[in-house]
Structure 1
Amino acid sequence: MVCPTHDRLYLSGCTGPGTCVQCNRRAGPPDSRMRRPMKVLYVLLYYVPHCTGLTIHVQRIAEAMAARGHESTVLTARYSRALPPEEVINGVRVVRLPTFLRISRGMLMPTFPVAAWRLIGEHDLISIHTPLLEASLVTTWARLRKRRPVVITHHGDLVLPAGWFNRFIEFVMYRIYRAAARYASAVIAYSQDYADHSSYLRPVMPKVRPIYPPVTIPRPHPEGVAALRRQYRLEGKTIVGYAGRFVEEKRPDLLLRTVPYLSARFPNLRVVFAGEYRIRYEHFYERCLPLIESLNDRVVFLGLIRDPQTLADFYAMCDVLVLPSGTECFGLVQAEAMLCGTPVVVSDTPGAREVVRVTGMGEIVPRGDVQALAQAIARVL
């Protein structure tokens, strides 16, 4: 629904009526005259088939809105030439723009200004997903195109590997975000815990609305769990799982360093990684190879699991899932693992610790402490 005073869409959480950000006017009872379909434009760098927590989050929201009769359009990068410039995926129109140059994790899209101007004018609400290089341009275009309302969903402060160039990128992206946030009607954070500790979110706290991300995962199939164990020769093994990219900010090396301690107590221990481990924009896996090779067959890499049912079976196969991240805005994988019956050990990182705090289904350990991490894993096992 739309606020009659400010022509802004009401923003709501999971329950209850929405509120106009400008005047705090509460939305009244549903009115059939106002229940028209909305046209929502989602703007982000990567969309499916690219697989990260950010893309999964946007995909679930966009498809859910489309299923409810609203018009969902995604404006994103054509990061692979194998992808079509435009297609419809599960009711969501996906517009992919050609890319020109890769910069760390990002890419330049030369035609973005023109495409964004056109699409913003065709939609009622603009949903920006940061970090995004074009974020401030999108809010500027939205302001000029009849003051289209903008909601920013912040998926985590940008943290890159060491190096002066990466520090420069972080500085530029922060300034772009601040400029975009000034115009946004609201900024969605994954949790209040993360918002309270985010250098991006603290300056705009009056606009911040903490909303947990959508989590869906199929029920595990016992036969699928057994098949995974057979496939990777894990029958009778004690399995410590990790799900996510093998990148420095997620600190998988800490989990690897617990293996000598844990294997003394659990002779059949295996640490199983599910996710991409050869990453184009950083080479943390290659730096960890000597450590990985020293652990022999105690470490197993499954690669990226795209099938939701196989992922659910992987979670159920694990005796514990470990999330040792140095920085994390939520950690969707731990909520998915818990829904599959698997407890979690997570680092005491703002945002990441939220799920265990709320559910009590696991342990929280100090960041960067290998001994404490190993002891917590042993207690859960």
Structure 2
Amino acid sequence: MKILMTATYFEPYKSGLSIYALRVAQSLVQLGDEVVVLTSQFRPDLKLEEDIDGVKVVRFPVCLRISKGVLMRGLHAAARHWVGWADVVNLHLPQFESPSYVRECRRQNKPLVVTYHCDLEMSGGLLNRLAGWGTQQRQTTVLRQADLIVQNSLDYAEHSPWLKPHLGKVREVATPIDWVRTTAEEIQAFRAKYNFEPDERILGLAGRVAAEKGYEYLIAALPEVLSVYPQTRVVHAGTWKGVLGEEAYQAKIEALLQPFGEHWKPLGFLPDDEFRAFFGACDALIFSSLNRTESFGIVQIEAMLQGTPVIASNLPGVRQPVRHTGMGRLVPLRNAKALAQAIIATLDEGKVSLPGAEEYLRRFAKQEVARTYQALFEEVLR
């Protein structure tokens, strides 16, 4: 099967969406499909064409940047060619340029499967909010024309004002992860490399810095946590500096962190083996997201696979891993007091292995997710 995938950002960009798309593309190639990804040349040093583990990546120069969205030079002509090549087209939204692909799919009678990662709730200035609103409006046409829509959970879809009109063609598909468990030796080596003391309690944060992550509420919760567990340290794994469109939020968080010194430690983006050891080393993962721009949180599953409980916001979609596994606690949005109490209770309890969690987590193995995608593609091709 020849599959055309599109995403605004792709490898080496690091976000939940780009990692998701990469894992699905790689796994489909391993199953024998041909995959081409059209994306932006978001950095000028990136090659315009590249092979990544058998996935052909075609990048287009950015001619205009609006917040996190981009306009790409040469995309429209290339879309015509590559839609013609493909058996099926898979768009990963949000994506400002997505209507271009829809027009070509309609013109060339090609089936369209949309992977809808999240609604857009933009923070910041007027330009940011207008960019988010404009992108969301453009995507209404895409959702209307899609043959099928993939979402991480029906819980999220049922609460999204943009997906509600299309629930009949929404399919719940698990978020892909590498099904690999870390070892005690790898965790010990990780702790030694980053100089963590044996009695330290580690609260993990994973992912890029972004306003929807709600780090300010974790910072506000820290004094109460430290009063009970003074050896606690928040450790952030992921892109800490230079996230596109998040410069003002980054500055805000760094100002709030000034009083806490070494109680907050950013590690930067880690290789896969160290990410697994990081999740295994954490006493709890904190996922205090604030709005519908967060639809699930792939890092929750990655932490649970390593036996680590998660304290997550009670948001549609985001709450599903804790609900299904019992590994952690849910907290109300924007409530630092409740977050502190949940952290303390989780640290009191320690890591607990729960029967039934394994069966749920196995759904997220990237090979299984790719087979589900193959079945959906075959469905729309019939």
CA contact (8 A) 2:7 2:95 kept: yes
2:180 corresponding residue in structure 1: 218
* Residues 76-125 of structure 1, C-alpha deviations (whole Å, 9 max, x = no match): 11111221111111111111111112110122102110010110001110
Is this contact kept in 2: 1:242–1:321, CA < 8 A? yes
Give the Cα–Cα distance (whole angstroms) in 1 for the partners of residues 244 and 172 of structure 2: 32
TM-aligned CA deviation for residue 227 of structure 1: 2.4
Q: Which amino acid aligns with 1:253?
A: E
1:1-381 alignment, distance < 5 Å: 38-145=1-108, 147-236=109-198, 237-278=200-241, 279-282=243-246, 283-305=248-270, 307-327=271-291, 328-381=294-347
Instruction: Pick 1 or 2: higher relative contact order, CA cutoff 8 A, min separation 6.
Output: 2
Once the 2 structures are TM-superposed, how far is the Cα of residue 169 of structure 1 from its aligned partner?
A: 1.5
Tell me by how many angstroms 1:59 deviates. 1.1
Compute the displacement of 1:354 (Å): 0.7
Contact 1:225 1:314 (C-alpha < 8 Å) held by counterparts: yes
Separation (CA, whole Å) in 2 of partners of 1:375 and 1:47? 38
Taking structure 2 as the reference length, the TM-score comes to: 0.87
Q: Is the 8 A contact 1:320 1:344 kept in 2?
A: yes
Distance apart, 1:189 and its partner CA: 0.9
Shift of 1:174: 1.6
Deviations 1:40-77 (A, max 9, x none): 00011111111111111111111111111111110111
CA deviations 1:3-54 (Å, max 9, x no partner) are xxxxxxxxxxxxxxxxxxxxxxxxxxxxxxxxxxx10000111111111111
Question: Displacement, 1:163?
Answer: 2.4
Q: Which runs of 5+ in 2 are unaligned?
A: 348-382
Rounded Cα–Cα distance in structure 2 between residues aligned with 1:352 and 1:281: 23
Tell me the C-alpha RMSD between the 2 structures.
1.2
Determine if contact 2:71/2:97 at 8 Å carries over to the other structure. Answer: no
- Say whether the 8 Å CA contact 2:14–2:208 is kept in structure 1: no
Tell me if structure 2 keeps the 8 A contact 1:217–1:309. no
Could you tell which deviates more after superposition, 56-65 or 363-372?
A: 56-65
Q: Is contact 1:99–1:107 with CA below 8 Å preserved after alignment?
A: yes
In the TM superposition, what is the alpha-carbon distance from 1:317 to its structure 2 partner? 0.7
The residue type paired with residue 230 of structure 1 is: A
Equivalent in the alignment of 1:8: none
TM superposition shift of 1:217 = 4.4
Q: Distance in 2 between matches of 1:168 and 1:126?
A: 28
Deviation of 1:193 after TM superposition, in Å, equals 0.7
Return the letter of the residue paired with 1:116. A
Given that residues 321 and 337 in structure 1 are in contact (C-alpha distance below 8 angstroms), is that contact kept between their aligned partners in structure 2?
yes
CA contact (8 A) 1:247 1:277 kept: no
8 Å Cα contact 1:322-1:344 kept in structure 2: yes
Count the aligned residue pairs: 342
Any conservation in 1 of the 2:115–2:149 contact (CA below 8 Å)? yes
